[in-house]
Amino acid sequence: MAANGNGAATARKQKGLLPSITTSDKHHDVCHDMSAPTVKAQTIDELHSLQKKKSAPTTPIKGIQGAFAALSEEERSKQQLQSISASLASLTRETGPKVVRGYPASKSQTSPRVHQQHVAEPAISASDSSLKFTHVLYNLSPAELYEQAIHYEKGSFITSTGALATLSGAKTGRAPRDKRVVKDDVTREELWWGKGSPNIEMDEHTFMVNRERAVDYLNSLDKVFVNDQFLNWDPENRIKVRIVSARAYHSLFMHNMCIRPTPEELEDFGTPDFTIYNAGQFPCNRYTHYMTSSTSIDLNLARREMVILGTQYAGEMKKGLFSVMHYLMPKRQILSLHSGCNMGKDGDVALFFGLSGTGKTTLSTDPNRYLIGDDEHCWTETGVSNIEGGCYAKCIDLSREKEPDIWNAIKFGTVLENVVFEEHTRVVDYADKSVTENTRASYPIEYIPNAKIPCVGPHPKNVILLACDAFGVLPPVSKLNLAQTMYHFISGYTALVAGTEEGVKEPKATFSACFGAAFIMMHPTKYAAMLAEKMQKHGATGWLVNTGWSGGSYGSGSRIKLAYTRKIIDAIHSGSLLKAEYKKTEVFGLEIPTEVEGVPSEILDPVNTWSNKLGYEDTLMKLAGLFRNNFEIFTDHKIGKDNELTEEILAAGPNF
């Protein structure tokens, strides 16, 4: 009988027919499909449980060092939850909320890993919120965050290349006028206040009101996302940060932008050095003192905390932490810098400073050099280090031809902010500004092929200040002495082209101290003095490179060819430009080379390119006047109590 059955099965297989369904001898009333192996599960739920295997044991702890070392997994988890609960504690309760790891829909909510401190609480703490659990989604992977975003956050989609497209709500950019810093006895003396400063004051009480509002909002949710990560690739000076947020989009963004800890580092994380409470979906109370809108981004340096209310734009977290580093690092005699940074194959490091539109990203991302970072760095006693673990690139008009590295980095794990895509194919249209012109991509730095991991390097050899001079009077390249480097670093100049709707052709000068005035905390001269000291100590050379116009201002002249600028940058990297002959320009007193390989010599001195010499002189004097007027806010400043801005720096500016 069996032989006949096997023969029939063989015959059916030869004819290409489906395998037959046979009846078990033992259970004649049950029909089984014997054509394939069966799974080891009795129910659908059991089958689903087999789909996800438990994470492998975490990296073994060596020795007994660290806050969580030499503990059982259960004890380590308990301490971790206690730390998160303490972060979420509000003013009206002596203890933090009851927190449990896992998803709200999971059966794990009855897990014994619930943290609830048994401390006698005052009567004021009795509330509905004290009776509920807050589920903590801790350091989720990109795949898990994708699932959360797609399922729960409207406006989240997977694009054709695998990136997560999201919306940041009503705010599609930073809100600098809504940023506040607590002014206390310490920060009153240490920070830059007053005219020209980005620091707008608030008092401690108002901060605590906003903090309470943010924490109570987060505690009212069924779940919060918690990221424990690092800032600064220099292991001796890295900062532990904790980000508590309500959106998977924000958690994935910070997963990309901060440095991602290893399992061993996470076990040993302990108490964070700085905490962000991102309750951006909930507005601040506009009737609260110091508030001018429903948005508020508040920094309290004494408490090492930041509160975000009324804006879901993720860039507030990135730049808020950058501001914190601009405060913490100089106190350690470490210079924090808003710059790009790359390194040659021989170990020569270059820093690139420049405002939007100057070509900082394009010129610092060089296929022939290693990328240390694109935006935020520290210069320590041992060299340079990237502050971040990712890149935050502009996407407007992005193309594979212009920016191949950024284009290829937009894949699974990347966050795409406020982009527009085709409804069915999910192909992104980077030229579409329907939502905003400030479309962005956030991705881990290792998505760039020539990124240097770890993101550290030796002391810089060249410091390059980029300016897009639309007035057309600055030379394509100038060698700067230390005083000139400080002057132009403090000035932070570029020029924006005015709109042409009514035929307006006049360029507009823009000055941003230290090429990042919105983020610095101390007076610009503090950072400039540190820069000059480090450049002098390590033999770095300063350069001013104009990527703007030549032969006339915008509208009459033409923009300097990118190919020429690249040749200039190559000559700086190779050291050949140091060997060139130089002559000094009028008014600005800049040293310009008479020859650069691959660049027409006649464009090196801008006066040669202007047919209207009188027009050149008038425009030159106009720009010099703008520099002088801008610098007036710095001339009377004192660093600390008795260090005035030196006459040497003032003399390095335009000479009338």
Choose among 175, 201, 253: nearest CA to 518: 175
Judge whether 92 counts as a catalytic residue. no
Handedness of CA 419, 423, 427, 431 (dihedral sign): negative
Choose among 571, 617, 340: nearest CA to 477: 571
Judge whether 440 counts as a catalytic residue. yes
Selecting among 440, 452, 459, 573, the annotated active-site residue is 440
Selecting among 90, 245, 358, 361, the annotated active-site residue is 361
Judge whether 177 counts as a catalytic residue. no
Strands 460-467 and 349-353, sheet pairing: parallel
Roughly what angle, to the nearest 10 degrees, separates helices 482-491 and 613-635?
80
Tokens of 283: 């507005």
Selecting among 238, 338, 377, 534, the annotated active-site residue is 338
Q: Which ranges of 357-425 does DSSP label H, i.e. alpha helix?
A: 360-364, 404-409
How many angstroms separate the CA atoms of 551 and 604, rounded? 11
Contact 226, 96 (CB under 8 A): no
Selecting among 24, 106, 356, 646, the annotated active-site residue is 356
Tokens of 343: 């390194």
Bridge partners, residue 201, by sequence? 181
Q: Is the peptide bond before 60 cis (omega within 30 degrees of 0)?
A: no
Judge whether 319 counts as a catalytic residue. yes
Vertex 41: Cα angle to 36 and 46 (nearest 5): 140
**In 489-499, which positions are buried (b, 16+ CB within 10 angstroms) versus exposed (e)?**
bbbbbbbebee
Contact 322, 338 (CB under 8 A): yes
How many angstroms separate the CA atoms of 461 and 142, rounded? 37
Contact 513, 434 (CB under 8 A): no
Selecting among 360, 452, 479, 523, the annotated active-site residue is 360
Selecting among 98, 101, 115, 174, the annotated active-site residue is 174
| Structural element, H or E, at residue 198 | none
Selecting among 178, 375, 405, 469, the annotated active-site residue is 375
Which amino acid would we find at residue 480?
Answer: L
Judge whether 180 counts as a catalytic residue. no
Which amino acid would we find at residue 577?
Answer: L
Bridge partners, residue 370, by sequence? 343
How many angstroms separate the CA atoms of 19 and 21, rounded? 7
Catalytic site positions: 174, 319, 338, 356, 360-361, 375, 440
